[in-house]
Each structure stands twice: as structure tokens, then as C-alpha cells.
Structure 1
Amino acid sequence: MDAIIRKRELEKIKQDSSNVQMTGIPLRYKSEIRKENVYKIPLEYLIYNKYNGRIGTEVQSYETQNGPLNPEVDTDKIIIEKFLYDSKQDRNKKTMESLLKNGQQRYGIVTADGKIVDGNRRASLLNKLFAERTAMNHTFSEVEHCQYFFAIILPDDATEKDMQQLETIYQMGEDDKLDYNAIEKYLKCKELKKYFTNKDIADFMGEESEKQIKKWLDILELMEEYLDTYGYTGIYTRLEKTEGPFVDLQGYLESYKNRSANTSSVDWAYDESDISDLKLVCFDYIRARYEGKEFRDIAKTGKEGSIFAHKDIWDEFKKMHMEIPNDEECVDVLRAKQPNEELSQLLRSRDIDWSKKVKSHLEGNLRRQTSKLEDKRDANQPLKLLERAYNAINSVDTSQDGFFDNPRVLEYIKDISKITWDMKKLLDRK
């Protein structure tokens, strides 16, 4: 059913008073509060909003790989419904139970030509209950009410800008935020930025501040740069489980660029190219799914410092990092070799294979330099450092072939001997 027919049918519904389910519903629309009716609408007259905030990551990633989705086409409609259902399966099962037992308790919002602005998830679950009633062992009478959707019908003059505003206000309220995947709020801000200021977006999102909106946009910019780096442009699904490290990294990079007060522990005159190197190194660790303290030790600011804060540690860390094998196939080659494989799965496998290949290198390099960082932090605690050195030397297994075969072992022993002798002389003089 095309937009013209849907619009005509919805106008008929508005003219029939028997379709009115609720009256006097306040709606914030075009900078004013209006009083609207809620109508009973057959679901066949409605189409999904494919850029719904809950599934923006999935839809945009899919379209990057396969071309645009058209919610008026049945095959594409099924794909959108799957995205909506898979986004929160446990929550959706509970909602379906409620819809079946109690009917639709919360009204939605649709445009004059039937595009769902608010209520995509509920509408998709109603459709599922009715269409799959036999497989779910429900009788027709049990699901008859699931053919209809209760919603406000917007005036004919609603624009894409109006729809974006309404969706944000009614879907990004404090209660609904729990339904959103971590990356969705960043993409929603990007969409809204086409039409609104940061202050407007913060207002639509309820309790968020203008400063927070700017931060989210900056974090998304960093995320997109990460995707570009590995040939994953527009495939936002590759950002799964990475939000925390990106939030941390964006803050660190901003502090280093601005020479903020919390970078006072840095002991060298870094420049823009050094910050760029730091970013790319951190990208690799994010790709390998590092997070928490391990990740923060690479770049964090503050009085404790980090690997980047100390030039000698950073130079060695970066040098060793550059030795990571870089022989993986590019995205285009992968796709050409396996044209029938879903690209998202190909890229996921590519990342997993890369991580397995470089894991020991990443772990070893980070562990060695973190140990040196700890020594820097404890420089004013000589006994603590000496105990650590003593325990490390005492742990050396002299029965191993590597103790005899590697010439660097003797070099280190000589250096250690000289350092300890110098220390002993200092103590003897006192």
C-alpha cells in the first residue's frame, strides 16, 4: 500500500468518530502544546520508521552493506521487524504477553500518510502476534485486537524535522532510555544535528545537558574515525561493546590537545602527530576489545600518569606496537572471496582472527610498559621497587635453555650488577 492510499484511509479513520479511543491528549508539536485524539488504526495502513532510534545501528549498517531498506516492501519490512525484535528480545517477550492479555496500554504517534513516529516496537509486536498466531497456538479471537494500533495522527504538514523531534521527545524519555543500545544515542544526536542545535537536542532528551550532547557528538566522530581506519565506514555494528573505551579515549585526546591541567604529569613536549599516534594505537587495543584499567593505563591523564605521559616508556611502547603483523586482507578482498557471506559476519570474523594473531604481542607489550609505569609511580618508594626487583630476579629459572642461549641475558645481568654496586657505594658513603 503506497503513501497516497494510506493517507486517504487514515483521513477516513479521522472522520469516523467511532474510531476515536481517547481525546484531549497533549502533544508538543511545532513549539506548542496541542490537544489530539487517539485513533484505532488497522496496522495494514501503517509502515515502520526504519531509522527508529532503537535500531539505527542495525539499519544503517545493513544499508551500508546492502542498499536502502524500503518499509513498504514486504521483504524489507520483515528485516526491519527482525531488527526491532532482536534489539531487546527478553523485553519484547514480556511486552507481547502484556499486549496479548491487556491490549495496547500506551498510544503511539503516526504521520498523516502512516509512518510510525513513536511505537515501532509495539506495532511490530502486534503484527507478530497476529501474523504468527497459529505457530504461537493463539486463536483468532485471542489476537483479533492485535490487528489495530492506537495512535495520534499528525497533521498533514509534519516534516522530517518534526518527526525527529517527536521521536526523540517521546522515545528518549528517562524510562525508555533503558531500551536503547549503547551506540543508538550517538546516532540519534547525529540525525538531530541536521535540524537542531545542541541546546535543542538536550531539551528534547529531557535531563541531558548541552555539554553532554556535544560530548556525545565528539565521541561519535571518534567512533566513525575508528570505523574508517579499518575499512568499516558506516557499519556501526562493529562498535558493539566498545562504548566505554571510546568515552575514555575521547576525554584523554581532548585533554592532550588542549594541554589541560590534568596533563601536568606528562614529562615531554608531544605534538599533534604524537596525539595521532596515540589514537591509532588505542584504536588497535579497542579493536582487540581491551577496556578498564588495562586500556586506561595507555593514555589516561591525571597525577598518576600513563604510558603516554612518559616519553621513554611511550617511545618503546610505540616501537614495539609497530611490529604487529599487518598482513590481513582488506575488506574488499574479503567480500570478493566470499560474496554470499553477510559482510557483518565477515568483519566480525576478521576482527576475531586479527585479535587472536596479535593478542600475545599486545598483552606482552602492554604488560612490560605498565610494569615500567608502576616503577615510575613508585619512584619515591625505593624499598617497594627493590622488593619488586628482588622478587623478579629470584623468579628467574636458571635451568631453562633460554638463560644460557640468549646473549641479552648476560648483558642484563652485568647492567643489574653495576646498578646494585653503585647503590651499595652510595649506602656505604652515608
Structure 2
Amino acid sequence: MNTFDYNKPRPIVESLVKEINDNKEEISGMKRSIFFRDDKRKGKERQVYRIPTIYLNFRKDNGRIASDILSYENQNGELIEATAFGQEIIRQFLIKKDKEATNQLKRTIIDRGQDEPAVITCDGFLINGNRRKMALEMLSSEFPSEAKYKNLEVVILPCKKKDSGDETPPTHYEIEQIESAYQFHNQGKSEYTNFDKAISIRRKLNNGMSIEEQLSYDATFNMLTPAEKRKQINQIEQDFLKPLECIDRYLDRLGRTQMYNTIATAKGSQKGQWQAFIDYHKSIDRYIRDPKKLHKLNITKNERSTVEDIAFKLIRARKIDGVDKKSHEIMRMIPKLLNNEQSKAELFKLKEIKLKGYAETTSDVKDAEIKDLQWYNENRENIIHRVRESKNILDGVKESETPITLLKAALGKLNHENMNLKAIESENLKSTLKITESIIKKADEIKKELYGIIKKK
């Protein structure tokens, strides 16, 4: 974890400043306005330079690899980006992150060249353009005779102030602002994975940059009404930050604190876990966290930890053989299973299984994959049997539901232990009264219809 003051200027490596100054080439007539301080508002343009990629450095606080960096530093200590070793580690993370997107970027550079300049600190660390440096290095290796792939076009941020007319160097906070601006002003570049985006958003939030400020760099957000902005901010919390909190609890219970690289994030994959955590939060977690909403899951306060434990086991399993649903779809199915007492009882038998094996430890991502597979194989038959049986019970109930069973279920809900009207928030009392009146009206209609049927018979 970084402990520096985000409102102070970022430390500058003087030896690298000299390398940049000695090797930069001014591109005549080429200036650009960048997302820095009030440049965009004032229409201020800065000179663009051409610099050999070998003098430019990847930056570890890069949203695209946020999960990889956090995981690495949690296991190995601080990664020093201003070293050859640190640069190689970051390079490998970037290479592995999204190979298809990297290939697309290479094709774009071959076809159109560099569309926009990168943004670097005065000592050569890339704030915007990390993947372009990597792509250019690949192209230079593939086409060694092509000089155009050996350089990157950049705008250089201010260095140390030498006289009164000079600008001050950027603070850590301003660098975060620049990254946010380019993140939300994506123009055909590879998007961050949603998982890395979640970690990046939270990192900025923890450093004092509100969600609203992060979104403010998106012109469409600024055009929204206050109510629409609040809705979008809430959406960010529900889609990114809350699922990330669930992941933290899951990793802690496995003894893998901040080992985010052990979370499967493949898009559309049946084994993908990021989407499963999103659906876990939306379908289960948000109700567990609010005692007034437990009735929606048909559980008591004492059963909350059991439900989360079972959900985490099913997420760890990733795929349940014989159940034609992806892991995130199973999370959506759990509330339905809980709302039937028999299927709930069957699902609760998964309490017998331990989420973490006895004395289980994990050293790295490959070892974690092996441990997950071993754990699933050991518990496979039990997990499959319980989930399939619970689902079969529910499906059978659906087929056998009659007016009498439906009425009994409705009465059971009205007599549920959580039906404490005093717990209703004052702003919801009027809407609750309307629901009650609708129930009375429907009950009267059913009563009249039944009397009519009885008279005819």
C-alpha cells in the first residue's frame, strides 16, 4: 500500500529526467490539449515530442492492471517501478491482460499510426499510453527496419519549478485525475476489465477522489440532471464497489487476502467469478445487509452467514455439473430456492462442506487454481447432489402449485416472523398501506369468487 501524501508532488527521478531531455525530439507544429489542470477549459495546448520507447517507463498505478499489482504486492512486497525488474513485471501483466485487445491495438497502429499522444511525467513514466508502448515494442521486434515503431509521441508534464514562471510538477492526486479523464474518455482503446476498473475506482475513492469527480470527465455524465447523476453513481456502487466488497470477504475466508489474481474474470466464461459476485450482491448480499429486507430471501438474521457461506462455496465451485446454468445464474436462482422451505432445507445441507480445506494455504495464482480444483473434486458429488435436488424440489413445486397451496403460501408470508410493521421506514408507510389495500381488495375478490362457486355447486 502507498503511504505518501496524494496532495504533494510525485517524487521525480532526476537521472531519468536527463534521459528524457537528451532524447526527446520536438514535433514541429504539433500541439495537443490534455486533461491536466485547466488546460481543456482554457484551450491550452502543449508541445508534442517524439521519444524512443526505450526511455519510457510503464507505471504500476495503471487501472488496467490494478488487480495484478495489488495481488503481486500483497504476496511479494512493494514493486519498485523505477527498476528493470519492476518494468518487466508490469510488462508481463500488460501482455497477459488482454491479448486480443493488444493485437487490435497493433493493427490500429499499423493502419493509422498513433492517433493521439501519450502523457508522461517529466522522468518518463506513462500516465496514459502504457499499452501503446508495449504494442510499439512488439511491432519494433516484428518489423526491426521500421523506425516509426521505435518512438512514441508524448506530451510531457511539468518538472521541478526553476523560476517563477514555471509550472509546478503534478501531484499524485492530479495524476489520478489524468488517468480518470482518459479512462472515461476512451476512444477506441482497450477498455479496462470491469474487475480492474472496480479496483481502480476504489483506489481513487480511497485517495479522496469521489465517484462523481471520477465520472465528471465523461461529458455525457455532466449533461445529466442531479437525480440522474445520483442514479449513475449508485450504479457504479452496485456494479463495481459492492461486488468488490463481497470478493474481499470471500478472499479473506480463503486466506487469500487481496489475491485478486485468483478471481476468474473471463468475459462470458461459465467459470467466470466476477459476474457471479455482481449477481451475488444484487440477488442476495444487498438483502442480507438490510435486516428489513431479509423476508425477501425467506431467512432469519441467524441464517445470513449460512447463506453467504453457501453462495461462496458455489462461486468457488464455478461450475455445477448437471445444472445447466453458469455460476452467476446460480446466484440469481438462490433466492427462489430459499423461498421454498423444502428446497431451502436441501440447499442448507451444504453447511456440511467447509469453504476452505483443512490447513489449506495458497502461494500463487496457479497454486490457487489447483487448490480450487482439488476442493471441488473432494466435494463435487455432495455439491451437485444438493444443488440439483434443491432445484428439482423447486421445479416440482412449481408444477404442483394449486390455488390452495398458493393461498397457504401467501398466508404464511403474512404471518412470517419478519412481518414487523413498526420496522417500516416512515417514507415507505404510505406505499405499504397501498400494498395492504391491494391485498384486501384481492382477498375480497377471491372470497366473492369462492362464494359464487360454492352456491353453484
Q: Does TM, normalized by the shorter one, top 0.5?
A: yes
After superposition, give the CA deviation of every residue in 1:186-232 in whole Å (9 maximum; x if it has no partner): 11111110221121122235657211222221111111111111111
Structure-2 separation of matches of 1:191 and 1:265: 33
Equivalent in the alignment of 1:109: 119
- The answer (yes or no) to whether the contact 1:40–1:151 under 8 Å persists in 2 is yes
CA contact (8 A) 1:40 1:150 kept: yes
1:351-410 CA-partner distances (Å, limit 9, x unpaired) = 0111122122111101111222234444534899xxxxxxxxxxxxxxxxxxxxxxxxxx
Q: Corresponding residue for 1:151?
A: 154
What letter is aligned with 2:331?
Answer: F
Answer whether contact 1:183 1:239 (CA < 8 A) is retained.
no
Partner AA of 1:28 in structure 2: F
Distance 1:313 1:101 in 2: 58
- Percent of counterpart pairs with the same letter? 22
- Which whole-Å CA distance do the structure 1 matches of 2:29 and 2:247 have between them? 44
Kept in 2, the 8 Å contact 1:325–1:358? The answer is no
Aligned-partner SS, 1:113: coil
How many residue pairs get aligned? The number is 357
Q: Deviations over 1:317-372 (max 9, x none)?
A: 21x2122267835454x55xxxxxxx211111100111122122111101111222
2:34 maps to which of 8, 27, 51: 27
Contact preservation (8 Å) 1:54, 1:184:
yes
* One-letter amino acid matched to 1:257: R
Matched residue SS, 2:47: strand
Partners in 1 of 2:392 and 2:384 — Cα distance?
A: 12
Separation in structure 1 between the aligned mates of residue 291 and residue 55 of structure 2, nearest angstrom: 57
| Aligned counterparts of 1:347 and 1:75: Cα–Cα separation in 2 | 24
Evaluate the alpha carbon distance shift between residue 378 and residue 63 of structure 1 in structure 2; reply closer, same or farther with a 3 A threshold: same
Tell me whether 1:247 sits opposite 2:278 in the alignment: yes
Normalising to structure 2: TM-score of the pair?
0.70
Using the alignment, how far apart are the partners of 1:176 and 1:37 within structure 2? 23
2:397 corresponds to 1:355:
no
Counterparts of 1:32-111 in structure 2, within 5 Å, are 32-33=39-40, 34-100=44-110, 102-111=112-121
Q: Partner residue of 1:324?
A: 353
Specify the code of the residue in structure 2 equivalent to 1:155.
P
Tell me how far 1:109 sits from its aligned partner: 0.5
2:333 alignment counterpart: 297
Please point out which of 228, 234, 247 is paired with 2:252.
228
Question: For residues 363 and 77 of structure 1, do their structure 2 counterparts lie closer, same or farther at Cα, with a shift above 3 Å needed?
Answer: same
Q: 1:213 aligns with which of 221, 229, 236?
A: 236
Query: How far did 1:145 drift?
Result: 2.6
Residue 257 of structure 1: which of 289, 296, 310 is its match? 289
Task: Tell me the CA shift for residue 267 of structure 1.
Answer: 4.7
Q: Name the CA shift for 1:377/1:101 in 2 (closer, same or farther; >3 Å).
A: closer
Return the letter of the residue paired with 2:311.
C
1:370 maps to 2:388:
no
**In structure 2, C-alpha distance between the alignment counterparts of 1:11 and 1:308, rounded to whole Å:** 65
List alignment gaps of at least 5 residues for structure 2: 1-11, 160-168, 222-231, 265-271, 320-326, 406-456
Q: Please give the residue correspondences for 1:169-188 in structure 2 after superposition, counting only pairs within 5 Å.
A: 169-175=181-187, 179-188=191-200
Letter of the structure 2 residue corresponding to residue 258 of structure 1: D
Name the residue aligned to 1:408. Answer: none
- Displacement of 1:82: 1.8
Relative to structure 1, the CA distance from residue 376 to residue 328 in structure 2 (aligned partners, 3 Å threshold; closer, same or farther) is same
| In structure 2, C-alpha distance between the alignment counterparts of 1:112 and 1:71, rounded to whole Å | 15
CA distance in 2, matches of 1:29, 1:73: 27
- Alpha-carbon distance change, 293 to 55 in structure 1, aligned in 2, over 3 angstroms: closer
TM-superposed deviation, 1:174: 4.7
Structure 1 gaps, min length 5: 300-305, 336-342, 385-429
Cα distance in 2 for residues equivalent to 1:326 and 1:32: 52
1:100 is displaced (CA, Å) by 4.9
Structure-2 change in CA distance of 1:47 and 1:21 (3 Å): farther
Shift of 1:184: 0.8
- Please identify, of 55-64 and 158-167, the stretch whose mean Cα deviation from structure 2 is larger: 55-64
Separation in 2, partners of 1:22, 1:250: 52
